[in-house]
Amino acid sequence: MAAIAQLTAKGLIKDFGGLRAVDVDGFTLHEGEIRAVIGPNGAGKTTFVSLLCGRFPPTRGTIAFAGRDITATPAHERVALGIAYTFQITSIFGNLSLYENVALPSQRRVTLDGNGKVRERAMAALERVGLADRAGEIASAQSYGHQRLLEVAMGLALAPKVLILDEPTQGLADSEIADFIALIRDVAQETTILLIEHNMPVVMALAETITVLDQGRVLAEGAPEAIRANAAVQTAYLGG
């Protein structure tokens, strides 16, 4: 059976003044895929996924989700459709508890679905990322790594069809990385994953397909083995 295109972009361009930050002719994320987007600093990775999730409007081009044109759809409506995005810089509510942080998106999902219980959904999300025993603690008191995991839990509470993770292992201790890889593999059984990540062992362990951006353009795309062996990628990013 052919893979189902879930999130696509065509002729996607984003200009900031005279700077062209993104110029991606075509991109397709398939249902059930774990896709990584990598590239050197300033390659346009965060801008690219910000276009996909609706944080920025494109200068030109189109974006479709499950066959529906969402180019002009605002970010909050894309969340309702099933696109969740965790930020490169944590966007938690520091003065709230971990539970309260996750209860907010849980309430949104329950409202959208018209059924379910907020507390059960929130606690299930915290349990999944290993933070259930800290549910009553204040978010700002957590380590940066735990704050990153809290943000993943907030995304999971939305029950997304596509979960976009921007540098999720930033701040995680080496001892936490293996648990994170196992978590994403588990989540991927029911959710399509788009991952921006600098930690190449994590990328190679998780991604089925890797898209390499350089100066806002797709430099290469393919399986991890092909990307590792690509001379242009080695020159631009992998230090080969």
Task: Report pLDDT digits (tens) over 121-174.
Answer: 999 999 999 999 999 999 999 988 888 889 999 999 998 999 999 888 888 888
Nearest to 215 by CA among 16, 23, 8, 10: 23
What's the CATH number where 14 sits?
3.40.50.300
Distance CA 17, CA 19 (A): 6
Quickly state the pLDDT bin for 237 (edges 50, 70, 90): low
For residue 104, what are its two tokens? 């907010």
Say if 134 falls within a structural domain. Answer: no
3 state SS of 48: helix
Q: Among 37-46, 76-85, 130-139, 176-185, which range has the highest average pLDDT? A: 130-139
Query: Full-prediction pTM beyond 0.85?
Result: yes
Cα dihedral across residues 227, 230, 232, 235: positive or negative: positive
58 belongs to a structural domain: yes
- Enclosing domain of residue 222: 1-82+203-240
Question: Is the residue at 197 inside a domain?
Answer: no
Instruction: Phi first, then psi: give them for residue 2, nearest 5 degrees.
Output: -70, 145
Indicate whether 131 belongs to any domain: no
**Residue 146 and residue 98: Cα distance in Å, rounded?**
10
Report if residue 226 sits inside a domain. yes
Flag whether 55 is in a domain: yes
Give me the number of domains the chain comprises. 1
Under the banding of pLDDT at 50, 70 and 90, the label for residue 35 is very high
12 domain residue, yes or no: yes
Q: Judge whether residue 48 has pLDDT over 80.
A: yes
